[in-house]
Amino acid sequence: MELQVIPRDEALRLLASAPVGRVVFTLRALPAVLPVNFVLDGDAVVFRTAPGSKLTAAVRNAVVAFQVDQIDPQTQTGWSVVVTRPSRGDPRSRRDRPTACEAEALGAG
């Protein structure tokens, strides 16, 4: 199986097609991964966090990774998109405080 890098527009299309993604962050100096529902707003990955949650505290102003994929076990083929960027709160929403990870650097294989 050969790993291929896909163009940014294709990575964004694939990212938008996934219903659930995984946010990867550091919690107490250890890697942590949580599945989250998300939307793609332009080229920003947006997901909600509960005020006061461990995820909210861990991703505030931190570099995080966000990953989605689709794998076919029968054909052993699929795709994966990974976004790695600093997270930021969305000032448009005071109550829900979504977190956005801008999808500027995308890698896929």
pLDDT tens for the chain, 109 residues long, are: 677 888 999 999 999 999 899 999 888 889 999 999 888 888 888 887 777 777 877 777 788 899 999 999 998 889 999 998 888 765 454 444 344 443 333 333 3
Domains in the chain, number: 1
97 three-class SS: coil
In a domain, 65, yes or no: yes
Domain that holds residue 14: 8-102
In a domain, 28, yes or no: yes
Chain centre to alpha carbon of residue 96: 18
Residue 60 DSSP one-character state: T
Residue 96 DSSP one-character state: T
56 three-class SS: helix
Structure tokens at 29: 């100096």
Under a CB-based contact definition with an 8 Å cutoff, are residues 55 and 13 in contact? no
